[in-house]
A and B are shown apart, each in its own frame.
Chain A
C-alpha cells in the first residue's frame, strides 16, 4: 500500500530520539546546561576524590590546626588539623551516595506504590494514600531523626531515613498520571487483549509516568542532600572521623569566630550542589511540559 508517511522523515532509533530530547532540553534554557555541568563537576570530584585530594582526609595534624587557606592546605584546616579541601571532596562522596541511593530507592518504591494505588483505585488507593499522607505529613527532618535515633547513625540508616522521607512524594507524582492514563482507550485495549495487570502497569503505564517521576527525582535529590547535611549537622549522620558536609559545618560552629572557613566551605558546597540540581530539575520539568510532548 502507499506509504502515507512518505513526507515524514524516516523513523529514528531510540538512542537518536533520546539524544534529540536531550538537545531540546538543554537548548531551550541555557541555565539547565549550567546546572547539569556544575552537578557533573561535583560528581566527578566525588568519584576522583582520592586522586584530587592533597592530603589524607582523616589524617590529623595538630600543629596545623585552624589555619586559613594556604598553598599547602587549599581551604585551610579544621580543629584537628585535617585538610578541609580533602575532607570536602570525600564528603561529596558521602552526600552523593546517600542522596543518590536514597532517592533511587525511593523512586523505585514510591513509583511502584503510586502506580498500584492509581491503577486499582477504590479501597486499595484509599488505604495506600492514607499511609502516604501520614508519612508525608512528618517534617522531613523529624522523620529522619526518628529513624536514625531508632536504628543508630550509619550510612545505611541515613539512606533508609532519607528514602522514607522521599517515598511519599514519588507515590503522589506517580499516582496522578496513572489515574489519567488508566482511563485511556489503549489501556482498555490491553485488557481486551488479555494482558495481566502487572504487564499493563510495567509496560504501559510506567513508561508514560517515568518522565514526570524523573524530573522530580532530580529536584528531590537536592532535598535529600540537604536533609543528609541537616541530619549530619545535628550529629545524627555518619560517625566521625568520616567527613560529611553537615558534620563539617557543625564542627566549624565550635570555632566559628577563629576560623569561619570551616563552616563556609562545606556550606558553599551544599549550596552549589543544591542550586545546580534545581537548575537542572527545573529545566527538565520545562522540557517535559505537555506542550512539548508528542501526545
Chain B
C-alpha cells in the first residue's frame, strides 16, 4: 500500500536523509555539476522513484550516496547524507565497504556486466554473506540457496552451480536481486533494473521487488525513465531535470496533478496503449549541456510559461499543498512570495 501523505511527525521513520547533494565532474579541466544541490528523504518501507531522461543525474545521485563516484575526476559534496544513524559522508573507504551490500545494496541495468562470468552464481550470492555476515562456507551456501528460492529461480539446487551465461536476462536479474537482499539491507538502490528486459519479464521482476519489499520492510530507490513503471511501483516520485529535482510528491498526486511544466510535458509526450491519443506533446529544444547551464531555471528555454524571473533565478523546491508533501521548483506554478523574490532578483 502506498505510504501517501505522511506528515512531518514521523521523522523517526526516515532511513535516508540527503541534503544539498552536489556531485561534480571534471571535464576537460573544468568542474561541472551533474547533480546540483538536491535534497530528498526516504522513509522505511517506502519506494521512491527517481525519474528523468538521460543525463538528468539520477544514476549519479545513487552512485554518490554509495560513494561510488570515481575520485580522480569526481567530487561529491553535501550538507548531509545520513543513513539511519550513520553519516555516510565522513566514512573511509573501508567503512563504506561495510555499508555497501550490507545496509544499502545496488542492482544495475545490465546484469551480465554486474555478474562475474567465470564464477557460478551460487558462489557469487554466497560471497556477500561470507564477507558481510562472516558466515562459514556451509552456512553461506545454505542461505544462498534459500535466497535463490526466494527470488523464484526454479530448481535452485541444480542451478546453484551454473554460470551467468546459462541464465536468461530475467533470471540474471533475479540473481542480482538475491545478492542485493542477502544481508537484509535497509535500502536497495535499483538503477533501471528492468529497462533491458522484455515487458513480461519486467512485470515479473517488478512484482518480485514489490513482494520482497513488503516481506522485509526495506526501502527501495527505483531509478527509471519509464513513467509507467513508476506508476506501478512507486510510493513517492522525484522528477529530475538537468541535475535538479523539479517536482517531488506521492505517486498519486504526481499523475493526478503534474505541476511542474516539465513533468506535465513529459506526461503528455507518452503514447499509451490503453487509449487513442490524437497527438503527442513534443518538448522543443534540448537539455542544456552540463558545461553550459544557464542562469536561472534550466528548463526556462523550453518551457513556454517562462517569466523574466525564470531566466534570472533558479527556483527552489516549495510545497504547493497543505500537507507540505507535494513540492515543485517553478516560479510560475509554485507557491512563493514572488514580490520578495523579484526584489531580490532585481536588487
Contact = CB atoms under 8 A, between A and B. Distances in A.
Answer whether A and B touch in the complex at a CB cut-off of 8 Å: yes
Nearest to B285: A2
A4 interface: yes
A13 interface: no
A72 interface: no
B8 interface: no
Interface in B265-290: 284-286, 289
Nearest to A8: B289
Interface residues of B, number: 5
B292 interface: yes
A7 interface: yes
A172 B285 CA distance: 45
Nearest to B286: A4
- Count class of interface residues, chain A: under 10
B287 to A, nearest CB: 12
Contacts of A4: 286
Contacts of B285: 2
Contacts of A2: 284-285
A7 B289 CA distance: 9
A195 to B, nearest CB: 33
Contacts of B289: 7
A279 B273 CA distance: 61
Nearest to B288: A7
A2 B285 CA distance: 9
B302 to A, nearest CB: 11
A6 to B, nearest CB: 10
A2 B302 CA distance: 13
A292 to B, nearest CB: 13
Contacts of B292: 7
Nearest to B284: A2
A194 to B, nearest CB: 33
Interface string B290-307: 001000000000000000
B10 to A, nearest CB: 46
A229 to B, nearest CB: 45
Interface in A1-33: 2, 4, 7
A196 B335 CA distance: 64
A7 B284 CA distance: 16
Interface string A95-112: 000000000000000000
Interface of B: 284-286, 289, 292
5 contacts: A2-B284, A2-B285, A4-B286, A7-B289, A7-B292
> What are the 5 tightest A-B residue pairs by CB atom distance, in nearest-first order?
A7-B292, A4-B286, A7-B289, A2-B284, A2-B285
